[in-house]
Amino acid sequence: MRATLVSLFEQNGVSSALIGIAEKVVAAERLSVPEGLLLYQEGSLPFLSVLASVVRRRINGDQVFYNKNIHLEPTNICVNHCAFCSYRRRKGEEGCWELSIEELANLAAEHALTGITEVHIVGGVHPDRDLHFYVDLLKEVGRTAPGVQIKAFTAVEIDAMCKFASMGVREGLSRLKEAGLVSMPGGGAEIFDEEIRRKICPDKANTQEWLEIHRTAHELGIPTNSTMLYGLIEKYEHRVDHMNRLRMLQDETGGFNAFIPLKFKHYNNRFSHVRETTTAEDLKNYAVSRVFLDNIPHLKAYWPMIGKMVAQLSLAYGVDDLDGTIDDTTKIYSMAGSEEQSPVATTGQLEAMITGAGYQPVERDTLYNILSK
């Protein structure tokens, strides 16, 4: 493979520096931060697609994963003031909501009858709800939807709910796990560069707090996902730095299941003047992520954010997970102007997207145990 690829790249005028990176990728050698940056700066889409496909096939063969899931969003009332957020509302403001534990548990029970295997719970940081509220919520969801795995709460939410309860993060996470928490999503990471973070999300959990909460979760046996918000005001250097910090933590704990690049959507927020990234840039970002993050097993394209068509295209750029069926249960991206205003996908649609791109559909649970092929 190495000789064939090198010959192909040389014939197409690829630089010697990029060919050297390709040789390392084929040999399963780790790329440095400068090499990751060079991929962003100089890698063409065909070149990046080849490298990302080498890595994704090494890790996952021709499998592409999906699950049957719903989202529960307890509230969009939030104490934070993230400049890029289109979701947050103040208490009493038009468009706000705060669902009770009973209402959320009833929604979980209703959807459990359809065969879902995962409930994904995220929302705003409500000023009047502490860790005890969310422990009770997990217990009630587990009671009404037995056997359905619960993936819940970003590090930002956990940081706040523990502080509101005057409780340490380790104790708080332990209590959530006892109440039924199986895994955590990766939201709230945004971009780790401290200067940019002060500009876009100054009052939420900072970089070190986010990393420490995920480290603690991994130590307690709670696997998590990881994310990166891109397309706002960051540069390629900031993206590579962000991924490198994730890669270093994964070396330490091995607790990240997946990485999910999250595209900035500019509708109805304080960065509405920023032009959104192109599809070509989205695909480049997926490919570089797959090549650079050699120790995180899965790369997810969140189709409600980018649309089903681009999600299918992303499978040729390293992606091996399309998330789940969702059943129109999330508003986080639809309120920001996403491609999918009513996000619903049947298992048949997801499988058709996967087979249409030449891959094998695999239904998984929250922890990536295979349920059916």
pLDDT in tens, 119-130: 999 999 999 999
CB 270 within 8 A of CB 83: yes
The strands making up 256-263's β-sheet, listed across from edge to edge, are 224-230, 256-263, 298-299
pLDDT number for residue 97: 84
pLDDT bin (cut points 50, 70, 90) of residue 101 is very high
Question: Which residues, at least 6 apart from 370, have a Cβ–Cβ distance to it below 8 Å?
Answer: 362, 363, 364
Least confident window among 10-14, 259-263, 274-278, 364-368: 10-14
Nearest to 271 by CA among 234, 310, 226, 227: 234
Question: Which residues, at least 6 apart from 10, have a Cβ–Cβ distance to it below 8 Å?
Answer: 19
CB 107 within 8 A of CB 145: no
pLDDT bin (cut points 50, 70, 90) of residue 1 is low
pLDDT number for residue 92: 80
334 pLDDT more than 60: no
pLDDT (average), residues 202-216: 96
**Residue 113 neighbours by CB distance under 10 Å:** 8
pLDDT number for residue 148: 97
Query: Which residue is listed with tokens 């996000």?
Result: 343
Query: Which residue is listed with tokens 């330490």?
Result: 252
333 pLDDT more than 50: no
pLDDT in tens, 224-266: 999 999 999 999 999 999 999 999 999 999 999 999 999 988 6
Give the span between the Cα atoms of 354 and 373, in whole angstroms. Answer: 12
Two tokens, residue 373: 């092929």
Mean pLDDT, rounded, of the chain = 91
pLDDT bin (cut points 50, 70, 90) of residue 329 is low
pLDDT number for residue 336: 44
140 pLDDT more than 50: yes
pLDDT bin (cut points 50, 70, 90) of residue 274 is confident
Please spell the DSSP secondary structure of 266-332, one letter per residue.
Answer: -TTSTTTTSPPPPHHHHHHHHHHHHHH-TT--EEB--HHHH-HHHHHHHGGGT--EEEEEE-S---T
Domains assigned to the chain = 2-56 (no CATH), 63-372 (3.20.20.70)
pLDDT number for residue 269: 67
Give the span between the Cα atoms of 9 and 323, in whole angstroms. Answer: 33
pLDDT (average), residues 343-358: 90
- Give the CA distances from residue 355 to residues 313, 315, 362, in Å, rounded to whole numbers and listed in that order: 12, 11, 11
pLDDT number for residue 10: 66
pLDDT number for residue 137: 98
pLDDT number for residue 2: 65
Give the pTM: 0.93
305 pLDDT more than 70: yes
CB 264 within 8 A of CB 277: yes
pLDDT number for residue 81: 83
